[in-house]
Amino acid sequence: MRTRIISAVVLIPLVIGAILIGGWVFWGLVLIATSMAGFEYARMLRHNGYMVLLPLLWSLIILWLGDIWWGYGDWLSPGVCCIVLLSAGWQVVAHERHPEQAHPTANWALTLAGGLYLGIGGAYLVLLRNLPEGLWWTLTALPVVWIADSGAYFIGRQWGKHKMAPTLSPGKTWEGYVGEVISGVIAGLLLGWLWPEVAGVPLSLTPWWGGLLGFLLAVFTPLGDLFVSMIKRDVGVKDSGNLIPGHGGLFDRIDSLIWAGALTWAFAMFLT
């Protein structure tokens, strides 16, 4: 517990600082985080004998994030086409040279799936921050996820009895999930009141919309956590990595944030 808290105290100000600065700093942080999560993803899958081709997985992440700054949507179609064909060709050649290597079709599919999942998820975090009011929406979405996750952890630990997803995440309980939703709504309401006061100008973010966003994020972002848990259970590992003391790997830390970025971007676009 102590290690977990210390890691959070160190990392959260770093992320908040990058959000406040925005621009290349936040873009770079997202690129580093998703790329390292991609490395952990590939390493996890090796436990089951799968061989994810990291250069091609990273190419998809770089393509999606690079298109935000330079491509403006023009890079995605030709870029994805080239990477899909290149990865297919690579697997054909690799399997011909090493026929003893198992799962060539799965290796190809897992490489593309991992790159798309992390690339698109990271891109929406940057797109969210780049909105006209993106600073305030990002400073609402990420803290809501952190606070809701903490609420689930403490309430589930204290009162949790009914397993929510026993095959994927035995530690999660329905009591913890209810605590997560309540914590998310309260955090959204408070931040929806606080940020317009700090900004000193009217924002599309209000306590009402902040509370609704908190509800949506608390309800749906646990699916990101459960998705990574599904991968870990499938390959037989406890954590995606050991980069962050007390928290496991980086993929474990951004699993819900990937969903939060896309959901909050859609929510903010709907309001504006």
The whole-number pLDDT of residue 245 equals 54
Question: Which residue is it, tokens 């309800």?
Answer: 219
The whole-number pLDDT of residue 113 equals 95
End-to-end CA distance of the chain: 41
The β-bridge relationship of strands 169-173 and 163-165 is antiparallel
Q: Which of 169, 184, 179 is nearest to 248 (CA)?
A: 169
Q: Which helix (H) or strand (E) holds 171?
A: strand 169-173
Q: Measure Cα distances from 32 to 126, 206, 246, 254 in Å.
A: 13, 32, 20, 12
Cα(33)–Cα(157) distance, rounded to whole angstroms? 29
The residue ranges of the chain whose pLDDT is under 50 are none
With both helix axes pointing from N to C terminus, report the angle between 174-199 and 207-220 in degrees, rounded to the nearest 10. 150
Q: How many domains does the chain have?
A: 1
* One-letter amino acid for residue 158 of the chain: Q
The whole-number pLDDT of residue 221 equals 96
Q: What digits encode the pLDDT tens for the residues 60-77? A: 999 999 998 887 778 898
Q: What digits encode the pLDDT tens for the residues 50-59? A: 889 999 999 9
Q: Which helix (H) or strand (E) holds 94?
A: helix 76-97
Residue 173 lies in domain: 2-271
Cα(118)–Cα(136) distance, rounded to whole angstroms? 23
What are the structure tokens assigned to 71, written together? 């491509």
Cα(177)–Cα(156) distance, rounded to whole angstroms? 8
> Quick check: 206 and 214 in contact, CB under 8 A?
no
The whole-number pLDDT of residue 249 equals 80
